[in-house]
Amino acid sequence: MEAAQRREWILKELSEAKTPQSATKLARQLGVSRQIVVGDVAILRASGKPVQATPRGYVLQTPPAGNVTVASCHEAAQVLEELYTIVDCGCGVLDVTVEHPVYGEMCAPLQIFSREEAEDFVKRLEVTQPLCCLTGGVHLHRLQCPTPAHEQRVLKALQEKGFLQT
């Protein structure tokens, strides 16, 4: 398969995938090395394709329609409860942002859309600390809400649990 065809195939796979796709998995399917896939993705990104690298693999960035940013505050021990609250309302967590006094705004992609993905994320936090620990628990999440009703439901649930900063 030629390089251009391979890149088109990668875009198609990412557009059809429900979960992030690792470079290793894509490479195995293509019969090439992981480095080839990483290079192809770099070229796709440089050409303006909305491919985003997450800790679990590559995803195509979602369109901004239906996204809402919320200010949240909680202790590190409440991360899983917050994530469950969001995904149980049918929404996803696109990223987390904190304001650091030296570095300024720091944003990390999350792409969490299920309880399983939330549990995987929290398990990885066992060896480190979440970004919200840098700011006394205060952070922003960009949420993907499929409909306005989902948005209202998740905002109400987060408010009831005391996570929302107003």
> Burial code of 7-20, b = ≥16 C-beta within 10 A, e = fewer?
beebbebbeeeeeb
141 is in an annotated binding site: yes
The single-letter code of the amino acid at 34 is R
The rounded distance, in Å, linking the Cα atoms of 110 and 95 is 5
The rounded distance, in Å, linking the Cα atoms of 32 and 5 is 13
Q: What are the residues whose beta carbons fall under 8 Å from the beta carbon of 142, sequence distance 6 or more?
A: 67, 68, 69, 93, 94, 95, 97
150 is in an annotated binding site: no
Question: Which residues belong to the annotated binding site for Ni(2+)?
Answer: 74, 82, 139, 141
Binding residues: 74, 82, 139, 141
